[in-house]
Chains A and B, each alone.
Chain A
Amino acid sequence: MSYALRRLTSLLVTLVVASVVVFVVVEVVPGDPASYMLGLNASPDTVQALRTELGLDQTGVARWFDWVSGMLVGDFGVSYTYRTDVASMVVDRIAVSVPLALLALMLAVLIAFPAGLVAASRRGGVADTGVMGFTQIGIAIPNFWFAMLLVLVFSVHLRWFPSGGFPGWEAGLWPALKALTLPAIALALPQAAILARVLRSSLLDTLGEDYIRTARAKGLSSRAALWKHALRNAMIPVLTIVGLQFSFLLAGAIIIENVFYLPGLGRLVFQAITSRDLVVVESVVMLLVFAVVLVTYLVDLAYAWVDPRLRR
């Protein structure tokens, strides 16, 4: 399908451009990366040693090529502060962040869809008012506060879930999932509230369309018209939001990761930035860019699946 191919081309172009931007911002623009990483009190010899280690004596273009071709084969360089392979560090963090984001997004969708559908089909009714009220609260409450509440109830009192930390997937599927449950709920609720509102208003828009009247004139019940004709047409804005939410959950979970002591990507970036570990920063940022662009690509494909007008 030419549409999928064209989107793929634009994905690749975006990645190349993004890698240049990340590289330029981190390595080229503000002076010398080596002296920045080492701070003000470093001796000239140490700075020179680091320059050689980082390959800063080469030209910018050559370094960019090294960096990009390294990433393509999974070589992300060596972290300066931890003295370990960035790739293996990142893989450990991804093993936490990606399942957490997926779990949270799944929960958000599972909550938002019934809520949005019920609210839209009974517009102005008790259910609608209830959904609108709860989503308002869901958006207003900061998720870290909600996270602490969850810990108080489900860890401290009921002792159903651990209050923090991550045992690792080696410890078994169930303990790992248990450790991710509360953070996922804390992350999911505000997103569910946003998604439910978007779905509701999008459905209300589509329910006002002429083809819904056509469907009703065919003899469909209002519920059947909602499911068969309105829902799919209402999906475009919902898919857009879901895509944005996944990207956000992947990198933006840092506060929740801190509340639950989870070793996720967000914390890694934060730590790398505070310790001025530019090797880690640029690799992780590039990885996040890749994730966002990939999700956008998948959302684009989903658009075309939903709406035949976009398939050309």
Chain B
Amino acid sequence: MSAESSLLRVDDLSVSIGDTSILSSLSFGLDAGSTLGIVGESGSGKSMTALAIMQLLPRGATAHGSIRFDDRELLALDERELQQLRGADISMVFQEPMSALNPVHSVGVQVAESLRLHQGLARASAMEQARTALDRVGLESIGLDRYPHELSGGQRQRVVIAIAIACKPRLLIADEPTTALDVTTQAEILDLLADLQRDTGMAMILISHDLAVVANTADSLIVMRDGAIVDAGDAEQLLSRAASDNDAVGYTRELLQASSWRPSLTASQARHAEPLLEVKGVSASYPVGPRRVFGVRDRQTVVDEVSFVIHAGENVGLVGESGSGKSTLARCLLGLMPIDTGEVLLRGQRLHTPVGSDTARTQPMARAARRAVQIVFQDPYGSFNPRHRVERLVSEPLHLLDERPGRRERRRRVEALLERVGLNPADTLKRYIHEFSGGQRQRIAIARALIVQPSLVILDEAVSALDVSVRAQVLALLAELAVDEGLAYVFVSHDLSVVRNVTDRVMIMYQGRIVESGETRKVFDAPTSSYAQQLVKAIPTLPDPAERRSHY
């Protein structure tokens, strides 16, 4: 990288907590007005790098080396000088918009706070400036007196950005700013950031685990792994080098491949099979509004007259933004959520009937049916009891069997299954869930779902929390299991690139209805409904090197 980088220059930066090294001798630079992308999987040290620049490292962490910002050595500044710098010259946008704002202060007060702090503005004029900042990030319709809980995730992230740009910083660090958002919102936020940068000429560090998110915006790229830089350079060159077969840096290439991973599907077997699951006119609703002493609470319909069929061995994607009703629909299929109308049939047998109907009362969901449909959740940690060992966790669904296996048989099955999902039973059985990595936990979750030999597995954002390379491994495992066991999958996800790569058929949900469905390739190549078109357009894609060049 250029040695005369003017705005930010990091040299031989190392960070350690106690004896553990977190970052080891990072060096990079950033010119005023340009964008640096930092890419890496979780634990690679991306966020730590950002916090080191902000000098907001966690307690006990020490930094060595040099961070020069505008010819001032940040590591030599005292706390008071750093406070003058933070929020004024260097600002930061964080990953989680849901928790990054203080719930008890109005958004106006929170944006105005940094203005009052750094520009010494009085309350009234700070609020005026806050209004301008919120207008600038596209929140013209949001009053200053609104509270964070009244806003959507995308709107909250805009507020966080408004806070960050309020004092017109020269460097903005955005740490995974879109990871928690839907694709459509993600595209909007990325556009907004690029737009702001063009207008204000600030420099930006964009951090993401997703190469595609960074690729379109960044001028230069850093690829990090285990606290060190493994690849760096001009974004365009780096990507084309990684894409071409020869002379590629191994890890960047791995990341690139993993993010567009595609299993070899044998989809043809599915089409002619008998219908496995039939969903006919299912609606479901939640109570909303104030509880009443007398009378019935208002209900909001979240799944609205949905019908579809899933065949044995088929991979179906169910996509939509948060709040579209896809998770509620998944809960309906599992019998975890009462339905208002319609019916769900499994191999022609009624599995689920509306609440209040006579059959619902007389025939609770049969054990056999519960066994046939299993689920893997998004959060592989939160969905396990932390005080049980793996053996107990995985064998838990066995109570659904009519003949419960004895202890030895149970152990045998758990061992066989753990081996099947690629874990070594000998050192897995007796351990607790916190001792495993995210990918291993998701493998255990899959084992738990498979132990009762279901015909349909619902994957509710099951790979969303995983890093790209781990995600590719888990998807490969799922594809393999589908072929061997003849499983059908429903991929519930807001991550369209995964759905595009692994499903035969896709259903797009919007406001409780399925607005489009069909063969995955056709839907993604030529979406017909306007919502689907919008959705597909918003997917971040790795630019074709040639195309990118012509762009400039």
A306 to B90, CA, bound (A): 31
B99, B113, B293: the one within 8 Å of A218 (CB): B113
Distance from B464 Cβ to chain A, minimum over Cβ atoms (Å):
19
> A6-B290, A211-B101 in contact; A216/B117 too (CB < 8 A)?
no
Which residues of A218-261 are within 8 A (CB) of B?
Answer: 218-221, 228-229, 232-233
Whether A219 and B102, one on each chain, are in contact in the complex, defined by CB atoms closer than 8 angstroms, is no
Distance from B354 Cβ to chain A, minimum over Cβ atoms (Å):
30
A216 to B99, CA, bound (A): 14
Whether B118 and A219, one on each chain, are in contact in the complex, defined by CB atoms closer than 8 angstroms, is yes
Which residues of B138-165 are within 8 A (CB) of A?
Answer: 147, 149, 160, 163-164
Whether B114 and A219, one on each chain, are in contact in the complex, defined by CB atoms closer than 8 angstroms, is yes
**Contact mask for chain A residues 180-212; partner B; CB cutoff 8 A; 1 contact, 0 none:** 000000000000000000000000000001110
Is B11 part of the contact surface with A, judged by Cβ < 8 Å?
Answer: no
What A residues does B76 contact at CB under 8 A? Answer: none
A276 to B128, CA, bound (A): 69
What B residues does A2 contact at CB under 8 A? Answer: 290
> A307-B104, A308-B147 in contact; A9/B88 too (CB < 8 A)?
no
What B residues does A211 contact at CB under 8 A? Answer: 99-103
The residue in chain B whose Cβ has the minimal distance to the Cβ of A233 is: B104
Is B329 part of the contact surface with A, judged by Cβ < 8 Å?
Answer: no
Whether B163 and A219, one on each chain, are in contact in the complex, defined by CB atoms closer than 8 angstroms, is no
What A residues does B114 contact at CB under 8 A? Answer: 218-219
Whether A219 and B100, one on each chain, are in contact in the complex, defined by CB atoms closer than 8 angstroms, is no
A6, A215, A217, A306: the one within 8 Å of B91 (CB): A217
Is B377 part of the contact surface with A, judged by Cβ < 8 Å?
Answer: no
Whether A229 and B102, one on each chain, are in contact in the complex, defined by CB atoms closer than 8 angstroms, is yes
Chain A interface category by residue count: 20 to 34
Is A46 part of the contact surface with B, judged by Cβ < 8 Å?
Answer: no
Q: How many residues of B are in contact with the other chain, CB < 8 A? A: 33
Distance from A280 Cβ to chain B, minimum over Cβ atoms (Å):
34
A59 to B123, CA, bound (A): 66
A6 to B291, CA, bound (A): 10
A213 to B293, CA, bound (A): 42
A6, A209, A219, A229: the one within 8 Å of B117 (CB): A219
What B residues does A210 contact at CB under 8 A? Answer: 94, 96, 99-100
A306 to B147, CA, bound (A): 13
Is A275 part of the contact surface with B, judged by Cβ < 8 Å?
Answer: no
Is A84 part of the contact surface with B, judged by Cβ < 8 Å?
Answer: no
Question: A213-B56, A233-B102, A233-B103 provided; 6 other pairs, C-beta below 8 A?
Answer: A6-B290, A209-B99, A211-B101, A214-B163, A217-B164, A228-B113
Instruction: Provide 15 A-B residue pairs closer than 8 Å at the C-beta atoms, listed in order of the A residue.
Output: A6-B290, A211-B103, A213-B94, A214-B163, A215-B102, A217-B87, A217-B92, A218-B114, A219-B88, A219-B118, A220-B113, A221-B79, A221-B83, A307-B103, A308-B106
| 4 shortest interchain CB distances as A-B pairs | A219-B87, A218-B87, A210-B99, A219-B86
Residues of B within 8 A of A (CB): 54, 56, 79-80, 83-88, 91-92, 94, 96, 99-106, 113-114, 117-118, 147, 149, 160, 163-164, 290, 293
